[in-house]
Amino acid sequence: MTMDSDSPDHGEANGPGERERAATAAPVRPRGGRLLAGLALLLALAALGGAGYLYYELIHRGEARTMAGQVDALRADLSDVDQRFAQMAQRQEDALEQFSERQGAARAATERALRESLTEVARQAPPSTGEWQRAEAQYLLRIANHRLLMERDVEGALRLLEAADTVLAELDDFALHEVRARLADEIAALEGVEGIDLQGLFLRLEAAKRHLDELPLRVPEYLSPEPPPPPPDDGFWSVLKRELSGMVNVRRLGAEVKPLLAPEEAAYLELNLRLMLERAQLAAVRREQLVFEESIATALDWIHRYLDTGKLPVRRMQDELSSLSNVDLTQPLPDISGSLNALREVLRNPA
């Protein structure tokens, strides 16, 4: 019962006044929550801005780089196209140049064939007497130059020049005045040259070779025939001297002792002499003065050392080779090509 009576009082204590006190005594929410909410909002906005910036970088900047790469690729393609056009232009220029060269060669061949045809037509006509004589004079002049230059035959060249001048004189052509003037100078120049008879020189050496087997070898002095002894004297001292001279033989060798050739070596000496004379012949034909002189000198030395110089054939061979060694092969010759060149000029440009 007591608890029941006390219940109303307790209920009254929990009335409106008590609730006001309880509300007054309840804690109030602080203002720091608002700050946190604002900070979170700012962070969200910053994250949104960063995401937008990244999106801009990825989208717009990527497109810009792609466009720049495409522009570079387009420029490279354009450069490649320019190079191809340049190569095509160069090939076209080379082809045109080759075509022009072929055309020029074909035109030259055509002109040459036309000239040859015209020349052949002109040749079909029989030559006149004057043309035959001009051709004969040209042939004589050409042979004269060959004789003088290749064979150094002054006499033969002179006779050929005189024959050519005679042929030209028969033509009585004033256009040949320069040719005959040059011919006169060349004939005078050849007449002043002391000619060398190469043919005679060659034949003299050939004759010397033919007589090599007739040359006697040098023999020892003890085999040489001794002079006949004087009539014997029957005196005592003469008899004693003869007896002693028969027992002892004294010889004085004041000169140099020269070696003698064995009989089997004589054939080699003859062969060497023959080869040396043939060498001199070849040097004479080639106008090699030094080789010619050395060959003759070597042959003379061998003859003096190994042959019997007291015999007449050996002395004749020495005299012949000594006279040949004085021949001058290097004598200068005049130029006789002026008349030939002048005649060729007249034949190329007839009046």
Please give the residue that has the higher pLDDT: either 13 or 143: 143
Domain co-membership, 156 together with 181: yes
For the segment 11-45, what is each residue's pLDDT rounded down to a tens digit? Answer: 444 454 555 554 444 444 555 677 888 788 888 88
Confirm whether 5 is domain-assigned: no
Domain co-membership, 211 together with 281: yes
**Cβ atoms 324, 276 nearer than 8 A:** no
321: pLDDT strictly greater than 70: yes
% of the chain with per-residue pLDDT over 70: 71
The DSSP-derived string for 156-171 is HHHHHHHHHHHHHHHH
The predicted structure's pLDDT at residue 1: 39
Confirm whether 54 is domain-assigned: no
Confirm whether 2 is domain-assigned: no
Domain co-membership, 281 together with 202: yes
7: pLDDT strictly greater than 60: no
Label residue 221 by pLDDT band (50, 70, 90): low
200: pLDDT strictly greater than 90: no
CATH number for 134: 1.20.120
**Cβ atoms 147, 160 nearer than 8 A:** yes
Domain co-membership, 265 together with 302: yes
The predicted structure's pLDDT at residue 280: 93
Please give the residue that has the higher pLDDT: either 127 or 11: 127
The predicted structure's pLDDT at residue 151: 76
Average pLDDT, the chain: 77
**Cβ atoms 303, 314 nearer than 8 A:** yes
Domain co-membership, 186 together with 133: yes
How does DSSP classify residue 26?
Answer: S
How does DSSP classify residue 131?
Answer: H
Residue 88: Cβ-neighbour burial (10 angstroms; 0-12, 13-18, 19+):
exposed
Domain co-membership, 278 together with 208: yes
pTM of the model: 0.42
Label residue 184 by pLDDT band (50, 70, 90): very high
The predicted structure's pLDDT at residue 251: 53
The predicted structure's pLDDT at residue 254: 47
Mean pLDDT over 61-89 rounds to 77
Confirm whether 142 is domain-assigned: yes
Domain co-membership, 172 together with 98: no
Domain co-membership, 163 together with 213: no
2: pLDDT strictly greater than 80: no
For the segment 157-178, what is each residue's pLDDT rounded down to a tens digit? Answer: 999 999 999 999 998 888 899 9
**Cβ atoms 318, 301 nearer than 8 A:** no
> How far is the C-alpha of 228 from the C-alpha of 14, rounded, in Å?
206
Q: Which of 160, 179, 123, 107 is nearest to 340 (CA)?
A: 179
> How far is the C-alpha of 131 from the C-alpha of 313, rounded, in Å?
59
Confirm whether 99 is domain-assigned: yes
> How far is the C-alpha of 161 from the C-alpha of 344, rounded, in Å?
15
For the segment 259-298, what is each residue's pLDDT rounded down to a tens digit? Answer: 555 556 667 888 899 999 999 999 988 888 899 999 999 9
* 65-79, 101-115, 265-279: segment of lowest average pLDDT: 65-79
The predicted structure's pLDDT at residue 17: 53
Please give the residue that has the higher pLDDT: either 330 or 338: 338
Label residue 228 by pLDDT band (50, 70, 90): low
* 5-9, 143-147, 277-281: segment of lowest average pLDDT: 5-9
Please give the residue that has the higher pLDDT: either 80 or 126: 80
Confirm whether 187 is domain-assigned: yes
Mean pLDDT over 333-345 rounds to 91
Mean pLDDT over 214-241 rounds to 61
How many domains does the structure of the chain reveal?
3
Domain co-membership, 205 together with 305: yes
**Cβ atoms 141, 179 nearer than 8 A:** no
**Residues of the domain holding 164:** 129-195+335-348
The predicted structure's pLDDT at residue 125: 58
Domain co-membership, 111 together with 137: no
Confirm whether 184 is domain-assigned: yes
Domain co-membership, 161 together with 264: no
CA distances, 259 to each of 42, 116, 270, 310 (Å): 138, 76, 17, 17
Mean pLDDT over 223-238 rounds to 56
Label residue 180 by pLDDT band (50, 70, 90): very high
**Residue position matching structure tokens 């033989």:** 249
Domain co-membership, 275 together with 292: yes
Alpha-carbon radius of gyration of the chain? 65
* Amino acid residing at 30: P
211: pLDDT strictly greater than 80: yes
70: pLDDT strictly greater than 50: yes
Confirm whether 276 is domain-assigned: yes
